[in-house]
Amino acid sequence: AQTVTQSQPEMSVQEAETVTLSCTYDTSESDYYLFWYKQPPSRQMILVIRQEAYKQQNATENRFSVNFQKAAKSFSLKISDSQLGDAAMYFCAYRSAEETSGSRLTFGEGTQLTVNP
Amino acid sequence: NAGVMQNPRHLVRRRGQEARLRCSPMKGHSHVYWYRQLPEEGLKFMVYLQKENIIDESGMPKERFSAEFPKEGPSILRIQQVVRGDSAAYFCASSPTRTATNEKLFFGSGTQLSVL
């Protein structure tokens, strides 16, 4: 079974600064997908960024980028130029590429990000 | 095109009562996933359903919990004889196909179940 670990329960960053959230995972599969989701107080799960394991290039979405280290099974999220609206709980998630798993996700425990003005 | 709709948003039950949580997937989506989020924890997979079929229920507690996704109507997560430990946010997500391609999973806003 796959596991996802987020070792930072809480993080804080000054507005306009850069912050990196850590995530490691364990799997015996070679093909899979990795995600970062944002959950604000509204509880809505918002997809931030997605990475395919077979791609060596790190995904980027505007101010959000990842550092994907497949051999180390590490998938960190970097938020540049942090904004007050970035404050939320962030979850790292794993999805197998096996068809029988469908779109089932395995989530980490989350990192609560605070952005200080 | 409405997103994934869950109702009610908040549900209060007394111990021993039944809780029924509803999820209407996005239009055109025939695959539904239920997750549970306990306080201060991440989402945990419960069950994966396709229309009229349970595909994977490996995350469902063995007793008191059941799920269905009928041919017509929403998916229902049913919890019988609720206990305080069932208090959590229950999320539904949907996708258009089963194939594990690079598709996006769409989440509802969740139902917060509180058991008194």
The answer to whether B45 faces chain A, any CB pair under 8 Å, is yes
Distances (CA, A) of A105 to A15, A70, A111, B20, B35: 31, 18, 17, 23, 9
Closest CA–CA distance from residue A59 to any residue of chain B (Å) = 13
Closest chain A residue to B92, measured at CA = A45
Q: Is B26 on the interface with A (CB under 8 A)?
A: no
CA dihedral B72, B73, B79, B80 (to 10 degrees): -70
pLDDT of amino acid B108: 93
Q: Is residue B31 within 8 angstroms of chain A, CB to CB?
A: yes
Separation CA A75–CA A67 (nearest Å): 6
Q: Identify the band that residue B20 occupies on the pLDDT scale cut at 50, 70 and 90.
A: very high
What is the pLDDT confidence band of residue B101, given thresholds at 50, 70 and 90? low
* A19-71 pLDDT tens trace: 999 999 999 988 899 999 999 988 889 999 999 998 889 999 999 999 999 99
DSSP state of B55: E
For A80-102, how does the pLDDT look when each residue is reduced to its tens digit (9 = 90+)? 999 999 999 999 999 988 766 66
Question: To the nearest whole angstrom, how far is the Cα of A108 from the nearest Cα of chain B?
Answer: 6
